[in-house]
A = this chain, B = another copy of it.
Amino acid sequence: MRLTTKGRYAVTAMLDLAFHSQAKPVTLTDIATRQTISLSYLEQLFSRLRKAGMVTGVRGPGGGYKLSRPSKDINIAEIISAVDEQVDSTKCGGEGNCQNNQPCLTHDLWMGLSEQIRQYLSGISLGSLLEREFIVEVANRQDNDLETLVELDSLQEKISA
């Protein structure tokens, strides 16, 4: 289990999706705007998430993405694993071939740490995050910001017309 900004982006996007999941699917364009992540980068991440069976894409107008499972049943660890492509085993990635096909000196330590992180993150679901006050506050603020942005855009259009 590696921890990179890629994984963080994925979790943020999934949390945004979970928060805005009503009847309608959520478009990546909306998520990109709210979370200030590049749209095409999101597309790449959601391609992975879709293949991992965590989200479902709905094409065409009114389409977007939906969670494939209830948010309570999606944990953070699996989101990160889905996008981080468990990478080369050259450097202590998985099994003990970190130094000339033998375990490196600290192999044991990193295995323990990985397990620790995995357990912590797999114990947290998207659903449980949605119950945290702090997160709901941030999400609501982002929704307001997006609304004012949209208003500004339509004003701009009226002016240039």
Q: A139–B105 contact, CB under 8 A? A: yes
Chain A residues bordering chain B, tally (CB within 8 A): 38
Known: A36-B100, A99-B36, A102-B138. A120 touches B113 (CB 8 A): yes
Taking beta carbons and an 8 Å cutoff, which residues of A are in contact with B? 2-3, 5, 8, 11-12, 15-16, 35-36, 76, 91-92, 99-100, 102-110, 113, 116-117, 120-121, 124, 129, 132, 134-135, 138-139, 141-142
Q: How many copies does the complex hold?
A: 2
Contact A116 B120 (CB under 8 A): yes
Residues of B within 8 A of A113 (CB): 3, 117, 120-121
Q: Is there an interface contact between B105 and A12, defined as CB atoms closer than 8 Å?
A: yes
